Amino acid sequence: MLKRTHIALGLAIALYFLPHINGNKFIFLGVVLLASLLPDLESGFAAARHHGLFGLDQTKMVYHKNHIIHTYTFLIPLTIILAIISPFLALPFFLGYSFHIFLDSFSINGIRPFWPLKHKAHGKISPGGHIDHVLFYIFLGMDVIVLFMFVMS
């Protein structure tokens, strides 16, 4: 999936949970958004391509190296360590990171969610393809709706 799709979903998830957060809401939001991009560090965000959202260059994921960073095997112990060090950061980190992995499980490249097990979860969505663009706009619409609900409450 494109970075913007991961960010749009991460924002929707963060906004959904925001009313239930007792700590600093800006830190919560920032950690969710940052964590929603972290798994793609292993691929170096692949090659850049212009997609026109507000005139910004977006990153097209040309490939995914199905290594440990795109796995729940990596995420769960990392979240536990983070919970020990800074409990407030553990939930937003887990939310952003896990929804990134979940979203990538629908891509044609897929992921190996429980590495080192060989099972691969994959779907039919091409990164940067038509469905990826549609998902981005759906998640963007969700962002607007949830933000509106948050402001009105």
- pLDDT over threshold 80, residue 49: no
| Bond into 19 cis (ω within 30) | no
∠ Cα 37 38 39 (to 5°)? 100
How confident is the model over 57-116, as pLDDT tens digits?
Answer: 444 444 445 578 889 999 999 999 999 999 999 999 999 999 999 999 999 888 888 888
User: What is the pLDDT, as a whole number, of residue 133?
Assistant: 94
- pLDDT over threshold 90, residue 141: yes
User: What is the pLDDT, as a whole number, of residue 94?
Assistant: 98
User: What is the pLDDT, as a whole number, of residue 66?
Assistant: 59
Q: Against a cut of 0.85, is the pTM above it? A: no
How confident is the model over 5-26, as pLDDT tens digits?
Answer: 999 999 999 999 998 999 899 9
Instruction: Annotate the chain with three-state secondary structure.
Output: CCHHHHHHHHHHHHHHHHHHCCCCHHHHHHHHHHHCCHHHHHHCCCEEEEEEECCEEEEECCCCCCCHHHCHHHHHHHHHHHHHHCHHHHHHHHHHHHHHHHHHCCECCCECCCCCCCCCECCCECCCCHHHHHHHHHHHHHHHHHHHHHHHC
User: What is the pLDDT, as a whole number, of residue 149?
Assistant: 84
User: What is the pLDDT, as a whole number, of residue 44?
Assistant: 58
Going by DSSP bridges, is the β-strand pair 56-60/47-53 parallel, antiparallel, or unpaired? antiparallel
User: What is the pLDDT, as a whole number, of residue 55?
Assistant: 42
User: What is the pLDDT, as a whole number, of residue 65?
Assistant: 52
∠ Cα 130 54 60 (to 5°)? 40
Do 11 and 92 contact (CB within 8 A), yes or no? Answer: no
User: What is the pLDDT, as a whole number, of residue 75?
Assistant: 96
pLDDT band at 129 (very low <50, low <70, confident <90, very high): very high
User: What is the pLDDT, as a whole number, of residue 116?
Assistant: 83
Domain boundaries, the chain: 3-152
